[in-house]
Homo-oligomer: A and B are copies of this chain.
Amino acid sequence: MDLGRRELVLGGLALTAASRAVAQGRSRPLGYAIVGLGYYGLGVIIPQFKNCEHSRLAAVVSGDPAKAKKVAAEHGLPARSIYSYANFDTIRDNPDVDIVYVCLPNGLHAEYTIRAARAGKHVLCEKPMAVSVAECEAMIGACKRANRKLMIGYRCHFEPNNLEAMRIARSGGVGRIRYVRSEHGFVQGDPSAWRLKRALSGGGSLMDMGIYSLQAARYMTGEEPIAVTARESTDRKDPRFKEVEDMIDWTLEFPSGALGGCLSMYSANQNRILLMGDKGRVELEPATRYDGNRIWTGKDGREQEVTPPPGPGKTQFAAQLDHLSTCAVSGREPIVSGEEGLRDMRIVEAIYRSAREGRTIRLTSGQRA
């Protein structure tokens, strides 16, 4: 960590015991509590701590005591670092825990982020940040009042191919940016998946893969959209789609005149980003997977495959975990803060509204963070 005393002082932070330890050069990484031992928390995130430099697993929070006990035992956590959702708030008394990582269904993000902040912990919250703008604002407020960092799990900002694509775009490598295309989807097969229950997901493919499409349109252009126009198509007779949408297709308009064409879907597999300028393009496919992403440049099609420089961590997940640890200690804002999640959610609400009303929705500056 690049951490000077001056930054610590200027940051004016109420440091926890653990972050003080890191700040003072003692090597103890910051402790994460993983909230939710589902596929992502247990299967994807927990195995990543071995790739981290500044982060370690310190606690687990689960509604399944047997599962929590087993995971804790496998990772050498003491019994006091196992929490249920009922006693989660007592995590405030656990000095091993610096950061709470909310890996719960979307509909629970706000509640657990706010409870974590009130318990005095920094928060890493999975995307989408929440299920409404109002929730996002409440989360930001809670973390601000608690003087804790809030970061959203936008892992693509730590993924080497996406970082290289952003670098090419910012360096003028495609000329004047005119169009970005981002398509994300998969065949959602299981009608009982929580992602298909509105109370847990807050919406369909847009609240899931659509967040990748929206994020990519923004980070590839480096601009904030000023208008959105969207169409939805969902087969409501399909048992999977009783509560949430299948497909949404939307067009973003950016101040430069660039357009962003985005797609999210639950009925076909797709994972692609394409940025087009008047001098060339950069394309990723797959674009935002856990691994195996590829990137090409060209003037007209995929002419040259690019090997991106190494990313900021051993993996995008480890880099993300360590980023928040570093920010928590240094007082810097995470590059993908709660404000960033709120920006997406304002656009998400406008996308739904546009699809519902069949018209273009302007995103006024008041609507943007």
- The residues of A with any CB-CB pair to B shorter than 8 Å are 176, 178-179, 181, 183, 185, 187, 227, 229, 231, 233-235, 246-247, 249, 251, 253, 257-259, 261, 263, 265, 267-271, 276-278, 281, 285-286, 299-301, 358-360
Contact = CB atoms under 8 A, between A and B. Distances in A.
Q: By DSSP majority rule, is chain A's interface helix, strand, loop, or mixed? A: strand
Contacts of A227: 231
A299 to B, nearest CB: 6
Contacts of A300: 269-271
A277 B265 CA distance: 11
A299 B187 CA distance: 10
Contacts of A270: 276, 281, 300
Q: How many copies does the complex hold?
A: 2
5 contacts: A179-B263, A247-B259, A261-B261, A269-B301, A270-B281
Contact of A278 (B178, B258, B263, B268): B268
Contacts of A246: 178
Contacts of A187: 278
A267 B178 contact: yes
Given A181-B183, A231-B229, A257-B235, A249 B251 contact: yes
A286 B285 CA distance: 16
Given A263-B179, A278-B187, A360-B358, A253 B229 contact: no
Nearest to A183: B181
Nearest to A358: B360
B281 A268 contact: yes
Nearest to A285: B301
Given A178-B247, A249-B261, A261-B249, A269 B231 contact: no
